[in-house]
């Protein structure tokens, strides 16, 4: 029993209790100084009435969709190409994973200087071939896609490595059989490689989606939600409610709403790992 | 048929290399013998390698270069390959004037503490649930498992409230390292994979040792720990890398600049510091994780497999 004590204490205080606390707090009004009091569903109504919440939900949805749309095919393609091309893939795997090793804050600050419209690396290089200058982060249409591009860069490596590992497990005899039947490489990819990887693909897709729903560092550090709220995300809004306006109840209500969506995704994720996961 | 997918990437490439030679992959040996296919593959190879260098190596190189540039040169020629003159002094300016040295020490303290406290909690708990199997062990395990459904950011606000006033103790942990160490040690993923590993140790060994009169502490120290090198290495690296990257949580609970890690301090410094000196600071924040990655690559890559798929 003594061995179990640290686990029970730590989980009770910093995991189970806060989960209960989040739900309780969402029905209370508190500034953490005067005692909290119950306010029913006021916090939820306040969140839903906030026009910025709609903006944040929309931005997060667009961010997630755009990110997955680029990240997913690029990761699959890179994994397939790398595992087909290279005998000694160590260099490739190191290079592809390096951006993941860079601490997110450093990566984001780095890209912020790249994106600078007057002195940035991107406009400088694009200028050499007669393109631009582009406003990147200063324009409310292009700021969000710019953040997505940075995030895809930062998160590609993990998925590529996992896909490479999964590709090594595709049953090779099927390729031979398909080849004898005259199937082209393209067909072999669609009908043998992808179906055999569907478990890993689904799991990684869900993991990335769960992460994207909670995107914070990129918009917070790079644009602080601007310009004109075009990059504010749900988690950033929760942060503002709580730690800038001191409306902890409102922040908790928004968290609970986010939790419902994330729980569903996590449930599908766990189900998928059970069904297709290893061992 | 896909039920046996194995994700320990560490030893994977060697086997796949052998099998591309014998059996062939998506592109078969017969395909590879055709000249057109070989040329295409060569072209694609060059292209991919170039893209990977641009994506992976170039940003790190640029950071090194920018950290040693003068700010004016950096602004006017961002694509310049190497600075002239090389401003080595940027590093010492960042270290002392921006206080990067102090923030680096803070980061190391936070990361090492997270690692040690996390390992202690995870190992004792997983050992209890897997080997000792006390009466409520399976309930605790279910409780730990359940937290996987609740992503950490969802409890952000209430965890912060908890930190300000820890239940039954009245402690306020804000602006102390414990505010980072303790919540991070309640890590369900690490607990899970540690338990899974302990479950794989044959039970006969424990029974034999218990017959010899070994108590739980001796079981843990002399039997379980010596066998658990790989899993401890993997969990350690996952924990250390994640702790070094952490941003949002320290931003919330460490509001006092004197206790902040690099990740929290850098964005604040970015608002007033000279660009090249700031990048020198970013370089200092970047070097330790890159070095750890290069040295322990094998374990880290295996760890990705764990976190990605083992649930």
Please count the residue pairs, one from chain A and one from chain B, whose beta carbons lie less than 8 angstroms apart. Answer: 347
Q: Does any domain span residue A244?
A: yes
Q: Provide mean pLDDT across the span A235-259.
A: 93
pTM of the model: 0.89
Residue B4 in domain: no
What pLDDT does residue B309 have?
40
Do B112 and B232 reside in the same domain of the chain? yes
Q: What is the mean pLDDT of residues A218-230?
A: 92
Give dist(CA A126, CA A120) in Å, integer: 10
CA A5 distance to own-chain centroid: 34
- Within a domain: residue A6? no
Same-domain check for residues B109 and B169: yes
Which pLDDT score is estimated for A165? 84
Does B9 map to a domain?
Answer: no
Which stretches of chain B score pLDDT less than 70? Answer: 1-24, 300-311
Write out the residue range of the structural domain in which residue A85 sits: 24-276
Which residues from A are below 8 Å from B198, CB to CB? none
For residue B2, the model assigns a pLDDT of 31
State whether B55 and B173 are in the same domain: no
Please report, for the domain that includes residue A129, its CATH number: 1.10.3720.10
Which burial class, exposed, middle or buried, applies to B126 when counting CB atoms under 10 A from its CB (0-12, 13-18, 19+)? buried
How many other C-beta atoms can be found within 10 angstroms of the C-beta atom of residue B138? Answer: 11
Task: Give the domain extent around B211.
Answer: 99-309
Looking at the fold, whether B71 and B91 belong to one and the same domain comes out as: yes
Is B8 inside any structural domain?
A: no
pLDDT of residue B304: 62
Q: Are residues B113 and B41 in the same domain?
A: no
ipTM value of the model?
0.91
- Residue B241 has φ and ψ, to the nearest 5°, of -65, -40
Tell me, yes or no, if A205 comes closer than 8 A to chain B by beta carbon: no
Closest residue to B154, CB basis, from A4, A22, A153? A22
- At B305 the pLDDT is 56
Q: List the single residue in B25, B136, B144 with the smallest CB-CB distance to A83.
A: B25
Among the candidates B95, B119, B149, a domain finishes at B95
Of the residues B64, B95, B126, the one at which a domain ends = B95
> Is the residue at B153 inside a domain?
yes
Beta bridge partners of A28: A38
Give the residue carrying structure tokens 């992976």. Answer: B56
Q: Show which of B95, B116, B137 is a domain's final residue.
A: B95
- Tens digit of pLDDT for each residue in A154-199? 999 989 988 988 888 777 778 888 888 877 788 888 888 888 888 8
What pLDDT is attached to residue A61? 95
Q: Residue A38: enclosing H or E segment and its boundaries?
A: strand A37-38
The answer on B70 and B113 residing in a single domain is no
Structure confidence at residue A272 (pLDDT):
78
Integer Rg of chain A from CA: 23
Same domain, residue pair B229 and B305: yes
Contacts of B197 in chain A (CB under 8 A): none
Q: Note whether residue A264 is domain-resident.
A: yes
User: How many domains, chain B?
Assistant: 2
Give the CB-side neighbour count of residue B308, counting CA atoms within 13 A: 30
Average pLDDT over residues A118-124: 90
- CA-nearest residue of chain B to A36? B161
> What pLDDT, on a 0 to 100 scale, did the predictor assign at position B95?
93
User: From the CA atom positions of chain B, what is the Rg in Å?
Assistant: 25
pLDDT at site B14: 41
Identify the closest residue of chain B to A255 by CA–CA distance: B154
Q: How many domains does chain A have?
A: 1
In sequence order, the 6+-apart residues with CB closer than 8 A to the CB of A221 are A105, A108, A109, A112, B267
> B289: helix, coil or strand?
helix
Q: Is A1 inside a domain boundary?
A: no
Are residues B174 and B290 both part of a single domain? Answer: yes
Which one, of B180, B181, B179, B153, lies nearest residue B166 by Cα? B179
Measured between beta carbons, which residues in chain B are less than 8 angstroms from residue A220?
267
- The answer to whether the CB atoms of B304 and A270 lie below 8 A apart is no
CATH of the domain at B108: 1.10.3720.10
B190 contacts on A by Cβ (under 8 Å): none
Kindly report the average pLDDT of chain A as a whole number: 89
pLDDT value, residue B11: 37
* Pair (B27, B152) in one structural domain: no
Q: Which position has the token pair 């560092």?
A: A217
d(CA B283, CA B279): 6
- Which residue's entry shows tokens 């600050």? A109
| A269 interaction partners in chain B (CB closer than 8 Å) | 311
Question: Residues 102..131 of B with a Cβ closer than 8 Å to A: which?
Answer: 120-122, 124-125, 127-129
Residue at A55 is within a domain: yes
Q: How confident is the model at residue A231 (pLDDT cuts 50, 70, 90)?
A: very high
Residue A8 located in a structural domain:
no
Does A279 score more than 70 pLDDT?
A: no
Q: Are residues B186 and B58 in the same domain?
A: no
Alpha carbons within 13 angstroms on the beta-carbon side of residue B88 total 0
Q: Is residue B10 part of a domain?
A: no
**A43-69, pLDDT tens digit by residue?**
999 999 999 999 999 999 999 999 999
A238: confidence class by pLDDT, cuts 50, 70, 90: very high
What pLDDT, on the 0 to 100 scale, is given for residue A77?
92
What pLDDT is stored for residue A271 in this prediction? 81
Report yes or no on B140 lying in a domain: yes
In a domain, A71, yes or no: yes
């Amino acid at each position: 029993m003594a061995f179990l004590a640290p686990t029970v204490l730590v989980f009770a205080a910093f995991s189970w209790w806060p989960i209960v606390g989040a739900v309780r707090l969402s029905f209370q009004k508190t500034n953490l100084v005067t005692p909290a009091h119950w306010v029913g569903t006021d916090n939820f109504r306040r969140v839903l009435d906030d026009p910025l919440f709609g903006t944040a939900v929309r931005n997060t949805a667009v961010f997630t969709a755009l990110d997955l749309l680029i990240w997913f095919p690029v990761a699959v393609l890179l994994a397939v190409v790398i595992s087909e091309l290279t005998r000694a893939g160590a260099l490739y795997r190191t290079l592809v994973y390096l951006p993941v090793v860079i601490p997110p804050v450093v990566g984001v600050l780095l890209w912020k200087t790249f994106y600078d419209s007057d002195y940035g690396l991107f406009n400088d290089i694009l200028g050499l071939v007669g393109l631009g200058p582009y406003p990147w982060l200063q324009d409310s249409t292009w700021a969000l896609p710019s953040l997505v591009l940075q995030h895809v860069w930062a998160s590609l490596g993990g998925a590529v490595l996992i896909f490479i590992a999964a590709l090594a497990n595709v049953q090779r005899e099927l390729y031979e059989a398909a080849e004898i039947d005259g199937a082209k490489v393209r067909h072999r990819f669609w009908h043998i490689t992808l179906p055999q990887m569907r478990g890993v693909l689904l799991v990684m897709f869900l993991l990335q989606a769960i992460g994207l729903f909670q995107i914070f560092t990129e918009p917070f550090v790079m644009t602080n939600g601007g310009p004109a709220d075009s990059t504010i995300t749900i988690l950033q809004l929760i942060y503002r409610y709580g730690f800038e306006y001191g409306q902890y109840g409102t922040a908790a209500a928004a968290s609970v709403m986010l939790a419902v969506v994330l729980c569903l995704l996590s449930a599908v994720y766990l189900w998928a790992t059970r069904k297709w996961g290893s061992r | 048929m896909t039920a046996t997918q194995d994700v320990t990437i560490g030893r994977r490439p060697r086997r796949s290399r052998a099998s591309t030679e014998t059996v062939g992959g998506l592109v078969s040996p017969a395909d590879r013998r055709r000249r057109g296919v070989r040329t295409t593959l060569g072209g694609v190879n060059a292209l991919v390698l170039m893209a990977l260098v641009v994506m992976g190596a170039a940003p790190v190189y640029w950071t090194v270069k920018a950290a040693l540039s003068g700010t004016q040169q950096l602004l006017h020629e961002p694509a310049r390959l190497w600075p002239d003159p090389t401003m080595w002094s940027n590093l010492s300016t960042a270290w002392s004037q921006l206080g990067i040295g102090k923030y680096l020490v803070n980061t190391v303290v936070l990361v090492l503490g997270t690692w040690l406290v996390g390992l202690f909690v995870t190992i004792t708990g997983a050992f209890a649930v897997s080997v000792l199997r006390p009466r409520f062990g399976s309930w605790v395990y279910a409780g730990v498992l359940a937290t996987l459904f609740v992503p950490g950011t969802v409890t952000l606000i209430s965890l912060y409230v908890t930190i300000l006033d820890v239940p039954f103790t009245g402690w306020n942990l804000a602006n102390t390292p414990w505010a980072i160490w303790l919540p991070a040690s309640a890590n369900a993923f690490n607990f899970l994979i540690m338990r899974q590993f302990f479950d794989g140790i044959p039970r006969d060994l424990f029974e034999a040792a218990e017959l010899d009169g070994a108590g739980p502490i001796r079981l843990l120290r002399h039997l379980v720990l010596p066998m658990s090198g790989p899993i401890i290495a993997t969990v350690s690296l996952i924990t250390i890398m994640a702790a070094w990257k952490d941003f949002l949580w320290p931003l919330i609970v460490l509001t006092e600049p004197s206790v902040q890690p690099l990740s929290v301090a850098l964005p604040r410094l970015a608002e007033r510091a000279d660009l090249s000196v700031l990048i020198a600071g970013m370089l200092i924040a970047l070097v330790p994780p890159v070095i750890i990655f290069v040295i322990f690559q094998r374990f880290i890559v295996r760890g990705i497999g764990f976190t990605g798929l083992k649930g």
